[in-house]
């Protein structure tokens, strides 16, 4: 007797790999080079394909799904323009360390390099913005490449991985094998921190007079929020968070100083300036946090915990580096702490700064302001909602005024600052989380960049609450123009060209409302919270001249905060 292995085609191998990786959703758009995959997809029942309306939307949806769930987001697009349309979303995921696997169709291998119809060197194009890329030239390499892609995307510091699938590879036959064990030469993420370094850090923290925990998105990615909370409470330590770290520590806690950096809290930045021990946990010292690097926490002893060794000493030199998973390291740090630091005087100093320059805004003129909308949203949802913000002034007001109490509650484009992120990312989040309200908050500029995905939200009857903060300007750019560019508002006034947003939302099938009155805010938020039969839209027309404070000018020290308008007459 002779035995023979069963041969299946590349499309069948593709889906068997996704089944083994427990993929729930694919965000995609079909095309010529992926037709064999979509033919097979017709009979697949273990996952759901979400038809997007633009491939950039697919990548943002996959990232929103990944950020809300902690799982890998999966994208499937065709070759050429389908692939190149994913570039912005891949770059966004790379900057914010979000785990994606992006599958792109490709022309047959014999046509690669011949400028064939809908050919693009997507591996070459995305090489600087992916953790790794695979061009699968032989069907025998398909399953191993997909296995490695998922492993690389979610291990170590997460990030996007691209797998390019030539048409002939998808059609070719091969026996199926899927290795459970992964060995990749040169790729060995470090998870356990060096115990001697951890003990040194514990001793320094216990002896500190003015310690500060500086927390980034790595806490959320590693699932370390509970360890962080316990460590901070046990030692009475103040905690400040980056934009991506919001929710890693409860925003309502007395130990929380809120966000630091360019638009961070006055007291958080003052704490950075005056601390004697700075403990960076899963943060990368990016320029929006540090300002002028030479003056950033210049007198502080610096401890840096990060799973990515390339981040250590990259922007700021540190005294004790600890490479590894921040959750494991915090757990060890708690065990070896020799004592609790005596910092009552430090807390008195911090509370003085909080009283000295609180977050304020003026509602006496009866006009609607974004800060009020966000504060009411925070109160009404008790910090339990998932807020997916776009990019601009409203993004900073969300970060300042919404009290995030849970990890994976704040989803925003941080490193790349991608306008148009919120609408599709909120859709991805809605597929990941079904028991909490999801709010997409956009400015009038960013909302128009991917509003076609409202079709997707309505088609799948997702109960997303879409908010547009409409100040009829590219608000953040306008703010810079007023402060630093002689009030020359060059091509930032959208008021003359903006559409009627209510009619736009209604055209896409959404219930839609609009107001410019503060007294309507509570009722409209209640309306959004009560409606769960599909997406709903509300436009808040706010004061166009409003600016976000505090603000640290680009390249300045974070001690050089602007805390109020330089020319108050601009509000008249």
Which two three-digit tokens encode residue 485?
């560019």
Q: Is 332 a catalytic residue?
A: no
Given 329, 356, 383, which residue is the final one in a domain?
Answer: 356
pLDDT one-digit tens code per residue, 89-143: 999 999 999 999 999 999 999 999 999 999 999 999 999 999 999 999 999 999 9
Judgement on whether residues 149 and 55 belong to the same structural domain of the protein? yes
Judgement on whether residues 331 and 210 belong to the same structural domain of the protein? yes
Judgement on whether residues 315 and 436 belong to the same structural domain of the protein? no
Judgement on whether residues 200 and 134 belong to the same structural domain of the protein? no
Domain membership of residue 539 (yes or no) is yes
Residue whose C-alpha is closest to residue 60's, from 443, 501, 392, 391: 391
Catalytic residue among 16, 24, 118, 203: 118
Judgement on whether residues 284 and 384 belong to the same structural domain of the protein? no
State residue 493's pLDDT score. Answer: 96
Domain membership of residue 536 (yes or no) is yes
Domain membership of residue 139 (yes or no) is yes
* Number of domains, the chain: 3
Q: Is 302 a catalytic residue?
A: no
Catalytic residue among 117, 234, 335, 506: 117
pLDDT one-digit tens code per residue, 417-450: 999 999 999 999 999 999 999 999 999 999 999 9
Q: Is 167 a catalytic residue?
A: yes
Question: Do the Cβ atoms of 102 and 59 come closer than 8 Å?
Answer: yes
The answer to whether residue 479 scores a pLDDT higher than 60 is yes
State residue 2's pLDDT score. Answer: 41
Catalytic residue among 12, 21, 55, 332: 55
CATH number at residue 261: 3.40.50.1220
The answer to whether residue 413 scores a pLDDT higher than 70 is yes
CA distance 61 to 57: 6
* pLDDT tier at 524, thresholds 50, 70, 90: very high
* pLDDT tier at 183, thresholds 50, 70, 90: confident
- CA dihedral (137, 143, 149, 152) positive or negative: negative
Judgement on whether residues 397 and 431 belong to the same structural domain of the protein? yes
Could you tell me which residues are beta bridge partners of residue 464?
438
Catalytic residue among 265, 476, 547, 561: 476
- pTM higher than 0.85: yes
Judgement on whether residues 228 and 327 belong to the same structural domain of the protein? yes
Judgement on whether residues 166 and 239 belong to the same structural domain of the protein? no
Judgement on whether residues 325 and 474 belong to the same structural domain of the protein? no
pLDDT one-digit tens code per residue, 354-404: 999 999 998 889 999 999 999 999 999 999 999 999 999 999 999 999 999
CATH number at residue 456: 3.40.50.970
Q: Quick one: what percent of the chain has pLDDT higher than 70?
A: 98
Judgement on whether residues 165 and 227 belong to the same structural domain of the protein? no
Residue numbers of the domain that contains 426: 370-549
The answer to whether residue 212 scores a pLDDT higher than 60 is yes
Given 286, 321, 356, which residue is the final one in a domain?
Answer: 356
Residues 6+ apart with CB under 8 A from 479: 393, 547, 548, 551
State residue 568's pLDDT score. Answer: 58
> What is the residue-averaged pLDDT of the chain?
96
Domain membership of residue 567 (yes or no) is no
Catalytic residue among 36, 148, 167, 465: 167
The answer to whether residue 571 scores a pLDDT higher than 70 is no
Domain membership of residue 182 (yes or no) is no
> What are residue 291's phi and psi, to 5 degrees?
60, -140
- CA dihedral (459, 460, 461, 462) positive or negative: negative
Q: Are strands 277-281 and 211-215 parallel, antiparallel or unpaired?
A: parallel
- CA dihedral (214, 216, 218, 220) positive or negative: positive
Q: Which secondary-structure segment (H or E) carries 277?
A: strand 277-281
């Amino acid at each position: 007797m002779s035995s023979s292995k069963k041969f299946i085609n590349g499309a069948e191998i593709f889906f068997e790999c996704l089944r083994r990786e427990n993929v729930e959703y694919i965000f995609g758009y079909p095309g010529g080079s992926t037709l064999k995959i979509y033919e097979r997809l017709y009979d697949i029942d273990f996952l759901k394909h979400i038809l997007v309306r633009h491939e950039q939307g697919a990548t943002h949806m996959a990232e929103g799904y990944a950020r809300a769930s902690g799982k890998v987001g999966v994208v499937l697009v065709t070759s050429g323009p389908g692939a190149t349309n994913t570039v912005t979303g891949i770059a966004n995921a790379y900057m914010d360390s979000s785990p994606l696997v992006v599958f792109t169709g490709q022309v047959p291998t014999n046509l690669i390099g011949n400028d064939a119809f809908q050919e693009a060197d997507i591996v070459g194009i995305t090489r600087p913005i992916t953790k790794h890329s695979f061009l699968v030239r032989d069907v025998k390499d398909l399953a191993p490449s997909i296995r490695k892609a998922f492993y690389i995307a979610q291990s170590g510091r997460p990030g996007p991985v691209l797998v390019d699938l030539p048409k002939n590879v998808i059609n070719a036959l091969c026996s199926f094998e899927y290795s459970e064990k992964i060995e990749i030469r040169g790729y060995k993420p470090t998870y356990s921190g060096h115990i001697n370094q951890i003990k040194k850090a514990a001793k320094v923290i216990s002896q500190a007079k003015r310690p500060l925990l500086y927390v980034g998105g790595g806490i959320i990615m590693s699932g370390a929020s509970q360890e962080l909370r316990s460590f901070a409470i046990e030692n009475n330590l103040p905690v400040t968070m980056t934009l991506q770290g919001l929710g890693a520590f409860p925003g309502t806690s007395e130990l929380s100083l809120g966000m630091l950096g360019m638009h961070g809290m006055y007291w958080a930045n003052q704490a950075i300036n005056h601390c004697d021990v700075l403990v960076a946990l899963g943060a990368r010292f990016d320029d929006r946090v540090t300002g002028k690097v030479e003056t950033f926490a210049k007198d502080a002893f610096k401890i840096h915990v990060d799973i990515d060794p390339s981040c250590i000493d990259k922007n700021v030199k540190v005294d004790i580096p600890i490479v590894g998973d921040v959750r494991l390291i915090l757990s060890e740090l708690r065990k070896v702490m020799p004592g609790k630091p005596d910092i009552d005087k430090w807390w008195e100093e911090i509370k003085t700064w909080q009283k000295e320059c609180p977050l304020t805004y003026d509602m006496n003129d009866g006009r609607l302001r974004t800060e009020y909308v966000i504060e009411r949203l925070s109160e009404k949802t008790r910090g339990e909602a998932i807020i997916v913000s776009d990019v601009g002034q409203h993004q900073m007001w969300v970060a300042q005024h919404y009290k995030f109490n849970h990890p994976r509650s704040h989803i925003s484009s941080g490193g790349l600052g991608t306008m148009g992120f919120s609408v599709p990312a909120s859709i991805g989040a809605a597929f990941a989380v079904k028991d909490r309200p999801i709010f997409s908050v956009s400015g009038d500029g960013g909302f128009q960049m991917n509003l076609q995905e409202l079709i997707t939200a309505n088609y799948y009857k997702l109960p997303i609450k879409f908010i547009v903060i409409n100040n009829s300007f590219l608000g953040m750019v306008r703010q810079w123009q007023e402060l630093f560019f002689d009030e020359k508002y060059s091509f930032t006034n959208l008021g003359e060209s903006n559409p009627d947003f209510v009619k736009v939302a209604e055209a896409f099938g959404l219930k839609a409302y609009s107001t410019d009155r503060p007294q309507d805010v509570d009722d409209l938020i209640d309306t959004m919270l009560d409606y769960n039969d599909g997406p709903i839209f509300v436009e808040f027309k706010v004061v166009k001249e409003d600016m976000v404070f505090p603000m640290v000018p680009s390249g300045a020290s974070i001690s050089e905060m602007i805390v109020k308008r330089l020319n108050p007459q601009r509000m008249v």
